[in-house]
Structure 1
Amino acid sequence: MSSTTERFLRLFEEMVGEVNTRAGDEESHSFLIERAASRDGAVKKHQGLLKYIRDVRNALQHPKHRSEGHAVLITEPFLEEVASLLNHLQNPVRSRSLGVPRKQIKTAQLSDCLGDLADDMKTRGFSHVPILDDSDVLIGVFNEAAVFAYLWSDDAVIIERSMRIEEILPHCRLDAQHTETFQFVGPNRQLEDVIDMFLALKSPTTRIGAVFVTASGKSTDKLQGMITPWDVLHGATS
């Protein structure tokens, strides 16, 4: 048996253990890909490749041909792909390492002036500014949708640079009826789960604008981080 084949079979056994753990049955001798895929976003995303790896292993371990030697030869590039997938499953990208950590997030208070915030957003390229209370808990988001909602709320309203966040807070709150909504996750959610959140539409005209990270994944906890679609795209390709 070649060295690459031996290494492949060792990696396969590790992969079975990892996938079956996600399936909730680490003692099983079967490769529980389908069950794990129904419970885990990373396995679901790579389900096709996992099944192919399983078929390759079965062709090696349970040959049906009569000629001598293996019908399947494991190449170094394929072995590297298997090792890379195993590493991804064992060390998944999680929400705590995605996006912007709390200390780097531009945030707003109720007393902040809209003109100053708008200038900062334009200069630094921000699209969403979380609004926090005195306990560092998110109470709303200042963005274009909030400004438009305020302007459309009454024919006579205008926005002045000197206005403060508290004056338009009802249109910034998380439950405001905008084309953007927001989700919360804990620090250990996998990249694939966050991607699914951004891809899901609440309605034909509503999308997820940002995902916020808190210790429990609930909106009542202190803000730990913010993830935008750009952050997810970068995390998926890095």
Structure 2
Amino acid sequence: MNRRAGAGTSHSFEIERAAGRDGAVRKQQNLLKYIRDVRHALQHPKHRSEGHAVLISESFLEEVASLLNHFQNPVRAGSLGVPRKQIRTAQLSDRLGDLADDMKTGGFSHVPIVDEGDVVVGVFNEAAVFDYLWSESEKIVGRSMSVQEVLSHCRLDANHTETFRFVGPRIPLEDLVDMFLALESPTTRVGAVFVTASGKSTEQLQRLITPWDVLGGAA
């Protein structure tokens, strides 16, 4: 816990400092404080009577062991979402009709657009289509149109209600949950997270994580 707080040499149980730096600690903060209080009571007993002042139940020990395992082996971005081999991506030459058919039959809402180096340059989704239609009067989207023709409306910095983040594979689950729950602005939130080798947008795509992957029905 103290290593997560950046206070590895401290003799105190630095829960509050660790919670400010680590989402997993923050989520379990109340339980950790309770464990700290129990530890202090056992380590520094103030009673004079014979016998134990505190009895630790098996169920409590199991809860502590489970929490310890959670901290030692946290769920991270590298094991969540869809791996690269299973991601339906788009090339600039792909036809919009084919993408729409695959999205409908596959049940997914975001198609990363990648360049020759497998680097994400945009995302094809409903927001991109609407943005294209409303960019000028009397716009029409045809099935034979290519991704290249609508790319400016699919770019990562397009002004949509969804934004996209890049993270490294060691980012813990709790941080991803915070990303998806937080509003980027009053009308914008993260729609998908892309995992790359070190979390840079200029690196090859490794995994795709959506709110459903970390929030389930609460997304």
- Residue 185 of structure 2 aligns to a residue whose secondary structure is coil
Residue of structure 1 in register with 2:55 after alignment: 73
Shift of 1:149: 0.5
The one of 159, 179, 188 aligned to 2:141: 159
Match 1:182 to one of 164, 189, 194:
164
Distance 1:213 1:205 in 2: 24
| Aligned residue among 174, 187, 190 for 1:205 | 187
Superposed structure 1 runs of 4+ greater than 4 Å apart? none
Match of 1:118 among 100, 118, 128: 100
Instruction: For 1:26-41, list aligned pairs within 5 A.
Output: 26-41=8-23
Tell me if 1:107 matches 2:115: no
Q: Residue 95 of structure 1: which of 77, 83, 98 is its match?
A: 77
Segments of structure 2 that go 5 or more residues without pairing to the other structure are none
TM-superposed deviation, 1:63? 2.1
| Cα distance in 1 between the residues matched to 2:53 and 2:129 | 65
Count of paired positions = 217
Q: Which residue of 1 aligns with 2:116?
A: 134
- Distance in structure 1 (CA, Å) of the matches to 2:85 and 2:117: 15
Aligned with 2:4: secondary structure? helix
Please, what TM-score do these two structures have when normalized by structure 2? Answer: 0.96
Give the drift of 1:27. 2.5
Q: CA RMSD in A?
A: 1.3
User: Which residue, 118, 130, 146 being the options, matches 1:148?
Assistant: 130
More helix by share: 1
Q: Which residue of 2 aligns with 1:85?
A: 67
| Superposition map of 1:1-16 within 5 A | none
TM-score with structure 1 setting the length = 0.88
Work out the CA distance in 1 between the residues paired with 2:156 and 2:54.
Answer: 55
